[in-house]
Amino acid sequence: MKYQEIGQSGVTGSRVALGVMRIGGKTREEAAEVVQTALDCGIDFFDTADIYGAGRSSMMLGQALRDVGVPREQVKVQTKFGIFMDHELKYTTRYDFSHDHLMEALDLELELLQTDYVDFALLHRPDPLVDLEELADTFAEMADAGKVRHFGVSNMGPWQVEMLQAAVGQRLEANQLQFGLMHTHAIQAGLHVNMEDEASLDHDGGVIEHARLRHMTIQAWSPFQYGTFEGCFIDNEKFPQLNAKLDALGGEVGATKEAVATAWILRHPAKMQVVCGSMTPEHIKNACAGADVEFTRQQWWDLYFAAGNDLP
């Protein structure tokens, strides 16, 4: 495993993190096995959110960290908040950065995670009704109380980040975004700039370039997904060319397809952090191995092309 600084926080974390959205469906023993596998692979960074499993994911992560006996200071725990889910209706009714909602969400997360603080707290989705002064006061209150050590955002574009950063006193260290071999439009739009084809459509406003300029860490979620929630592209018959190239390159470097797909993200000079969401120990091991795979420029481009992308 390799490690990197998250943003400019001074905090280092494993280049592959474990996202625990699905851990809520595990038994206590299974959850402990998942967390122990991650630790054995060198993962020291764990990502959750208050809405995952209506809080059960955070509860299971907190318990698993206790069960495996890892000292709190040896791991980094990150949560995300700002989405209001009506648990009776069982769906999201709004995005909410109000003081009361964020404070209540954070306090509940700390209770479920069995910790006094989180290393990072990210605003999960943009709230168009955000009161910037209120948010600044909320962040200051959380930081002064020692409940949150560092802050960031998730699923936000450059101008949304800039607006928030201009208001809050703490640096926004990370932006968690979907990125991977089958979710490359943030790169594709930059290559097709000043053109009129479909690939030239910029959905994100140069989010990768912005993160690099701001020294923010992009945390790549669902790195093995195609679409948003359609499924995994690895060993999927819908993507024969990509899987053939993953297999071929894996043979060249002695790695599995998951490791190759992980290494492709980590090869980008933006120094992204991959959030692996698998709850299968073998898949976690394979993804972690990608942190130690080195690619040439051409190998990176070959995978980009195999994923269906082109050059103008």
Query: Strands 231-232, 225-226: parallel, antiparallel or unpaired by DSSP?
Result: antiparallel
Four-point Cα dihedral 223, 228, 230, 236, nearest 10: -30
Four-point Cα dihedral 25, 31, 33, 35, nearest 10: 120
Q: Quote the CA–CA distance of 244 and 231 in Å, as a whole number.
A: 18
Q: Is 97 helix (H, G, I), strand (E, B) or coil?
A: coil
Q: Is 161 helix (H, G, I), strand (E, B) or coil?
A: helix
Q: Quote the CA–CA distance of 2 and 56 in Å, as a whole number.
A: 30
- Active-site positions read 52
The H-or-E segment that residue 133 falls in is helix 132-144
Q: Which of 125, 120, 98 is nearest to 109 (CA)?
A: 120
Q: Is 53 helix (H, G, I), strand (E, B) or coil?
A: helix
- How large is the C-alpha radius of gyration of the chain? 19
Say if CB 295 and CB 263 are below 8 A apart.
yes
Region class of 77: left (phi > 0), else alpha (psi between -120 and 50), else beta: beta
Tokens read off for 132 = 């910037």
Tokens read off for 163 = 């607006």
Q: Quote the CA–CA distance of 5 and 295 in Å, as a whole number.
A: 21
